[in-house]
Amino acid sequence: MSDSSLPQRPLEQTAFDKWPDAVRALFDGSSLASKTGFTASLLTVDANQHIRTSLLGAGELYAPDSRTLCIALWPQARAARAIAQSGRAALTFVLEGAFYQVQLLAAPLPPADGDDSGLVYVNCSIDSAETQRVRYARLTSGITFELEGEAEKILDRWERQIEYLKRAAALGA
């Protein structure tokens, strides 16, 4: 005997191999001030097989096309080393009521001309990806943050990082 009040399939999963329009808009490198607070989790596996998480904001993520994501990382970040070793990462985030999980294939990008930021740039392509939603609840946020103190300096740095990512992505294409 089944309970007809329960949904038949409470979990909706949708696979994709190119960025949905809302994600492209989020990662387009524009209007960064309006995107503060958004956080994505970059998951990597280090040489000891430990899963590591790096939290990234919109100023560190740039999608130059529908299947690519360029990422700016600090060179001392464990994620930078893990990606260099494995060539793989996963990105997770919440957007428009859905949980996104994207498996990425990654390769280093050369620094852009004039870039003295010291950042490491990574060019990623979608290996596999999916969104998950449940019909009985709507995700309203994932990990979020507020810029404190020197918000203008951080936004200026993000603008420069996105410009460097754009130039590095063009070199890597």
For residue 167, the domain's CATH number is: 2.30.110.10
Q: What is the mean pLDDT of residues 151-163?
A: 92
Domain span at 28? 11-137+149-172
pLDDT at 4: 52
| Count of structural domains, the chain | 1
- Decide if 144 is inside a domain: no
Distance of CA 39 to the CA centre of its chain: 8
Say what the pLDDT of residue 112 is.
80
**What tokens appear for 8 in the block?**
């038949």
Is 6 domain-assigned? no
The encoded tokens of residue 150 equal 């020197």
The model's confidence at residue 116, banded by pLDDT at 50, 70 and 90, is confident
Judged by phi (left if over 0) then psi (alpha if -120 to 50, else beta), residue 52 lies in beta
Reduce the DSSP state of residue 162 to 3 states and report it: helix
Within a domain: 3: no
d(CA 59, CA 26) in angstroms, rounded, equals 10
DSSP 37: T
Q: Is the residue at 5 inside a domain?
A: no
Look over the chain and give the mean of its residue pLDDT values, rounded to a whole number. 91
Give the global pTM.
0.85
Burial class of residue 44 in the structure, from the number of CB atoms within 10 Å of its CB (0-12 exposed, 13-18 middle, 19+ buried) = buried
Question: Is-contact 74 60, C-beta < 8 A?
Answer: no
In a domain? residue 143? no
* Contacts by 144-152, CB closer than 8 A, 24 or more apart: 144/37, 144/38, 144/39, 145/36, 145/37, 145/39, 145/55, 145/57, 146/36, 146/37, 147/36, 151/36
Q: Are 45 and 81 in contact (CB under 8 A)?
A: no
Residue 38 lies in a domain: yes
Residue 96 · residue 85 · CB < 8 Å: no
The verdict on residue 2 lying in a domain is: no
Beta-carbon contacts of 43 under 8 Å, excluding residues fewer than 6 positions away, are 51, 52, 53, 89, 90, 91, 92
* pLDDT 10s digits, 59-105: 999 999 999 999 999 999 999 999 999 999 999 999 999 999 999 99
Is residue 26 one of the residues assigned to a domain? yes
Judge whether residue 32 has pLDDT over 80.
yes
Number of Cβ atoms within 10 Å of the Cβ of 50: 10
> Per residue in 33-49, pLDDT tens?
999 999 999 999 999 99
